[in-house]
Structure 1
């Protein structure tokens, strides 16, 4: 059993994600869903349970937290490792190995398990999770969703009684989410206690025993399983959380995209070192001044295509033709701006405002004008109060919005967003959709790699679907074609 009594916590140097007089009991075998806006304290509750607070994340802590009778504050992290398993929002932050086999077995090796047991458990996990194809692969060549599944396997190998997952679906396609749902169901049937902080909720509707909605570090609403399943689309909208059924997500806006010309990609051929994964796109024509969603299963080549569009992969000899001019890889770096899937790789400065100002490269704009423009963008994305904070002190969703703000500040004609709604709550997802629509209205061409059906229906004009590195669908999104999109998200195999 997990018992949290009258806990107050503030991170050192930040009030974000604080907990306010939080009391919570989680019984053995319960599946508890933590919801709420970015920065409401969901992740902090998980860190309290797995011991990262107070042993890793420092701050002011009062009250008590016990797991299976152990006082968290008095128990070393290594003593908790076999009791509480954690899957982070960004799986890269928990990886120790460079290959998938080594990562899955690392925890078992670390506690001195016999080699034959380690191999047996690795093979069992791979079979149960249907990830045999991911064995003997480089971690660096996996998609974000594939990394997340490997993280789940590496935690499951130790068979802890308690599982803590922080936004586990953030980088997963619908097929991978169904696999995750199966994994969670198996853990639940084994009697494990599961705590999940999530924004995407539809796959948890039948699994959650309780839903706790947090706001400013407090539990403001608690629902039982029957109440969760009875929630309507109007209910979730009113509560500010994502819908509990994809059937509730509909295309309602008029398509107002106007393009006078096409953007052409030719000879986009790129293969990773394993010789099996990459992209092969002889020619692809797309409308300019549009918002183009790039969809497909995890590992289909979506992020690889995005990197090649903006010229980050030098080995790709493909060209991009825009406005009658053809751009090779090096030249594309000057006309494209990419917001990466893991935004930690592109946050460099000492403050959120400086991060946005860094993207304003027009030499004719004065520093005062840059500051004013940056502050305008930060206000649009609800980031004004964090303008002087260090980007690394923000929550995952706030970091994502900071990177998006930098992209908006860019004067480049082509913007590429890789999973821009990862870690975003309902309100901020809608907000980002609105800002991206403004970019289109400014004449930008926007590419979005995403698994988020709700986000696509909120702002995208065109769909490109990849499978095994090749384009299998390329169509305009409107009220007549959205059924093709919906079928992909609900019937993936």
Structure 2
């Protein structure tokens, strides 16, 4: 059988824009994938799995400067002799951050763009696009702009793009994240039925992975380790910290006063302006409440209205009916946003300054009661608490690190309530639980949106679900 991918003695070191010496990310890394095989590569975040994917796609170090040594062969061709655009029909990639891969103005155009680059006939393009849209439940979203899609819908678009390209090697970086259970099952079935060579990269071992792969490998100590699965899973759990006690269990809260956030008969309506097919979206919330220190989860299918409800609850959008109250007093708009912090699904929508220190200092600079020395001390303490380096540039940090920065910013804002939209995506279980524990320590109530049932089981004290436009308590 032909080798689909062969990595031999791979070494890689990023080039620092600060002219500092960086540690090698990979040292003597070797990996061999047989054509048609299904491989799972496990690694805690920030250990290089996304960098490895970008190397295989030919964009690193070409566009992400660094020093690369070793041999990479794709279907017995030397990668160093191929340009990234030559790889289009050979290797395709789904990023852990869906928004960074969108380039077109609609779902249909997103699927059509690579097919035009491949020079396909119009009839073949139409056939592939229609089949992929149907397979991933995107028919009604054909004309939709990516700005009006949910996180799970964006991920399905990228999977549909990969399907229409029909590359020989698929690289899926945290591809199960953001998907609800229906579409996780669909992705699992797609992988099982595919004759392509598939490499899945993950920072958590999901229940969907059991029995799905021909081989499971571990990225550890800057190289690929390939012991038996019985050895890999406990070792991976230890590397991720998932064998440590749940930081939420027995947590003692520093609560100055107890507050209650509630809403009754909340009504909302949303129209995707770019979507020509499909009806307006409506949401009805008969009753919702959350108290200080509580951990509440919200579940529901992709596009069911979880993020829409979050935008109402933090004052970003106004309902068309009903009322939101804090301790019995109605609140809306700016006043509500001062009480409820909303961590978006994509941290890049809330990070905008050149360094970690400036990002963390931004909100504190607007407070008149803080002296400069105290502000700097708080920023430094917060950075240490969330494992951040003050001089780092957010745009060059990994996606999970940017999520930690996003959480640190809100930690300094000291909101009594927080909404965490898919916080666990791309993070290990322990790192996500640790962030939750930090935000909750001072008595904040937290609403967590997740599609991962294993994660929800570790967190929830109470749960709500949205189905067919209606929220109900579970």
- Please give the range of the TM-score, normalised by the shorter of the 2 chains: 0.7 to 0.9
Alpha-carbon deviation of 1:163?
A: 0.4
Counterpart check, 1:263 vs 2:248? no
Counterpart check, 1:319 vs 2:323? yes
Q: 2:134: which partner in 1? A: 127
CA contact (8 A) 1:4 1:24 kept: yes
- Label 1:363 to 1:421 Cα distance change in 2 as closer, same or farther (>3 A): farther
- Label 1:17 to 1:165 Cα distance change in 2 as closer, same or farther (>3 A): farther
- Label 1:254 to 1:146 Cα distance change in 2 as closer, same or farther (>3 A): same
Written as runs of structure 1 = structure 2, the 5 A alignment for 1:78-93 is 78-93=85-100
Q: Distance in 1 between matches of 2:61 and 2:35?
A: 23
CA contact (8 A) 2:174 2:203 kept: yes
- Label 1:331 to 1:240 Cα distance change in 2 as closer, same or farther (>3 A): closer
Q: Distance in 2 between matches of 1:148 and 1:456?
A: 21
Q: 2:167: which partner in 1? A: 160
CA contact (8 A) 2:218 2:236 kept: no
- Label 1:369 to 1:456 Cα distance change in 2 as closer, same or farther (>3 A): farther
Alpha-carbon deviation of 1:204?
A: 1.8
- Label 1:17 to 1:134 Cα distance change in 2 as closer, same or farther (>3 A): farther
CA contact (8 A) 1:36 1:42 kept: yes
CA contact (8 A) 2:269 2:282 kept: yes
CA contact (8 A) 1:82 1:160 kept: yes
Deviations 1:326-366 (A, max 9, x none): 11223322322221111011111222232222233532122
Q: Distance in 2 between matches of 1:171 and 1:89?
A: 9
- Label 1:59 to 1:231 Cα distance change in 2 as closer, same or farther (>3 A): closer
Q: 1:215: which partner in 2? A: 220
Which secondary structure does the structure 1 equivalent of 2:61 belong to?
helix
Alpha-carbon deviation of 1:254?
A: 6.8
Alpha-carbon deviation of 1:148?
A: 0.6
Q: Which of 151, 170, 180 is matched with 1:144 structurally? A: 151
4+ residue stretches of structure 1 with deviation over 6 A?
254-259
Q: 1:421: which partner in 2? A: 424
Q: Distance in 2 between matches of 1:81 and 1:280?
A: 41
Alpha-carbon deviation of 1:425?
A: 1.8
Q: 1:466: which partner in 2? A: 466
CA contact (8 A) 2:299 2:450 kept: yes
Gaps of 5+ in 1: 244-248, 476-493
Written as runs of structure 1 = structure 2, the 5 A alignment for 1:301-380 is 301-314=305-318, 319-360=323-364, 361-380=366-385
CA contact (8 A) 1:318 1:328 kept: no
Range with greater deviation from structure 2 (307-316 or 257-266): 257-266
Alpha-carbon deviation of 1:166?
A: 0.9
Counterpart check, 1:37 vs 2:37? no
Alpha-carbon deviation of 1:160?
A: 0.7
Alpha-carbon deviation of 1:51?
A: 0.9
Q: Distance in 2 between matches of 1:407 and 1:17?
A: 33
Q: 2:119: which partner in 1? A: 112
Q: CA RMSD in A?
A: 2.8
Q: 2:290: which partner in 1? A: 287
Q: Distance in 2 between matches of 1:194 and 1:31?
A: 5
Matched length = 456
Gaps of 5+ in 2: none
- Label 1:54 to 1:237 Cα distance change in 2 as closer, same or farther (>3 A): closer
Which secondary structure does the structure 2 equivalent of 1:157 belong to?
helix
- Label 1:286 to 1:165 Cα distance change in 2 as closer, same or farther (>3 A): same
Q: Which of 384, 406, 412 is matched with 1:403 structurally? A: 406
Q: 1:2: which partner in 2? A: 5
Q: Distance in 2 between matches of 1:110 and 1:317?
A: 48
Q: 2:69: which partner in 1? A: 62
Alpha-carbon deviation of 1:18?
A: 2.1
CA contact (8 A) 1:17 1:44 kept: no
TM-score (structure 1 length as normaliser):
0.84
CA contact (8 A) 1:171 1:451 kept: yes
Which secondary structure does the structure 1 equivalent of 2:167 belong to?
coil
Q: Which of 391, 416, 419 is matched with 1:388 structurally? A: 391
Q: Distance in 2 between matches of 1:16 and 1:42?
A: 16
Q: Which of 297, 303, 310 is matched with 2:301 structurally? A: 297
Q: Distance in 1 between matches of 2:313 and 2:147?
A: 20
Counterpart check, 1:171 vs 2:214? no
Q: Distance in 2 between matches of 1:16 and 1:145?
A: 35
Deviations 1:171-229 (A, max 9, x none): 11222211111121122xx1x1111111232212212222221135322x314xxx43x
Alpha-carbon deviation of 1:402?
A: 0.9
Q: Distance in 2 between matches of 1:128 and 1:461?
A: 36
Q: Distance in 1 between matches of 2:97 and 2:5?
A: 25
- Label 1:58 to 1:277 Cα distance change in 2 as closer, same or farther (>3 A): farther
Which secondary structure does the structure 1 equivalent of 2:363 belong to?
coil
Q: Distance in 2 between matches of 1:407 and 1:447?
A: 14
Alpha-carbon deviation of 1:368?
A: 2.0
Range with greater deviation from structure 2 (111-120 or 253-262): 253-262
- Label 1:233 to 1:144 Cα distance change in 2 as closer, same or farther (>3 A): same
- Label 1:455 to 1:22 Cα distance change in 2 as closer, same or farther (>3 A): same
TM-score (structure 2 length as normaliser):
0.88
